[in-house]
Amino acid sequence: MEYLSRVLLVAQGFQGFRFHSLCRKFQLSHLFFADDLLMFCYGDLSSATLLLRAFLSFSEASGLRMNVQKSCLYANGVPAQVLQHICSAAGMKLASLPFSYLGVPITARKLSVLECFVLVEKYVLATLHNDWARIFILPKSIIKRIEDTCRNFLWRGSHIYISSPPVAWDHVCKEPEMGGLGIRKAYEWNIASVEKYIWWIASKKDHLWVKWINGIYLRGKDWRDMKCNVSSTWSWRRMCHVKEALMDGYMGDWWLKVGNEYSVQHGYQWLNCGGTIVPWGQFVWNRLGLPRQRFIAWMVMHQRLYTKARLARFGVGNDSLCCLCADAVETQVHLFFECIYSRKCIQIFLAKLGHFDGVLKLPEVIVDKMGREIQCRCRAVVSEHVLAKYDEWVIHLGC
């Protein structure tokens, strides 16, 4: 491709060749991406002919031919007669924006919901959404659909909405040490991904896109003075809005990684700064327990398990007594801490932790132990207790 690039550079130096109005400042006539080629010129017959002759010269020398079936011509503001001559000379069909390239829509206007609906229909939501989020600021309606689908899969195993989830999505998206599951919020992750481009502009990265922005939009101005006007593209207007949210973080270096390089993860954490660290985080999220056990323990800490007392509040079931002892109302506290079976498990657990005063203050003991340096044996005991509570819940479901 280096030879082709040199041939095209020679062609753009011939008399009669005119650059595209937005490419003249950068002397840009072509771009390569993998085995794809994009050529740009002014919308006249002489400029297009010079580029085509240069490509034909390369084809004769290398034996590589253009795939006419996969090649298209895009033009705007070109007279119909001139456009017809160019199409005949190139042997390509005339197409129009938007079009899809590598699964991503290429368009000069605002992304429509219909163009983004593939993100909702695809089952690989996380991967596909992350790819698009690095390029566009997605419509909020699409982001809401993505989060709704992920939420329904988490709680019901299906994308269809059945009932309200037991834990609010904002709590689910918190970091594990703050009482959540660590699932990323789609909108904040999208903004953090796009902020990377603002960081490139601010740090004057050696990228063609950054040079384009500086030459077309900024024109020597400071990046903090980025503004959009009526003629600005939709993507640039959205960039200007993101810039306003980024300025505080840039000035304070709050989300910069070591080496002054922007990290999307650090940008996301900066956007979601705040929150209180829960004392039971290490009790629930330890590596010794199975994921299903840790999830049930997390639900216990949020008091969102569907015990008989909780179901009775929704008018489900007639019996609210504990299924293990049948001596009291089956609340979550009773099932895991006050039931005869649970108290025996707690006594064994406290004894292994070295707590022999006979007082069953399990939450306080857990927090006290977690506040110290936890040895491997203590971690194993905590994991054993989580497993015991999980078994209790399984027995409860079988009642």
Q: For residue range 135-176, what is the model confidence (pLDDT) as tens digits? A: 888 888 888 888 888 888 888 877 777 778 889 999 999 988
Give the distance from CA 290 to its chain's centroid: 26
Do 249 and 264 touch, CB atoms closer than 8 A?
no
Residue type, 326: A
pLDDT of residue 352: 66
> What's this model's pTM, rounded to 2 decimal places?
0.76
Residue showing tokens 């042997």:
91
One DSSP character per residue, 29-66 reads: -EEEETTEEEE---SSHHHHHHHHHHHHHHHHHH----
pLDDT of residue 297: 82
The confidence band for 254, taking pLDDT boundaries of 50, 70 and 90, is: low
| Distance of alpha carbon 252 from alpha carbon 233, whole angstroms | 30
- The answer, yes or no, to whether the previous bond of 98 is cis (omega within 30 of 0) is yes
Residue showing tokens 């229909």:
121
Question: Pairing state of beta strands 261-262 and 104-106?
Answer: unpaired
Residue 331 predicted with pLDDT over 60: yes
| Distance of alpha carbon 70 from alpha carbon 67, whole angstroms | 6
Q: For residue range 1-51, what is the model confidence (pLDDT) as tens digits? A: 788 889 999 998 898 999 998 888 888 899 988 778 889 999 899 999 999
Do 204 and 210 touch, CB atoms closer than 8 A?
yes
One DSSP character per residue, 85-143 reads: HHHHHHT-EEE-S-EEETTEEE-SSPPPHHHHTHHHH-S-HHHHHHHHHTT----HHHH
Listed residue (293, 272, 255, 289) closest to 182, CA to CA:
272
Do 396 and 324 touch, CB atoms closer than 8 A?
yes
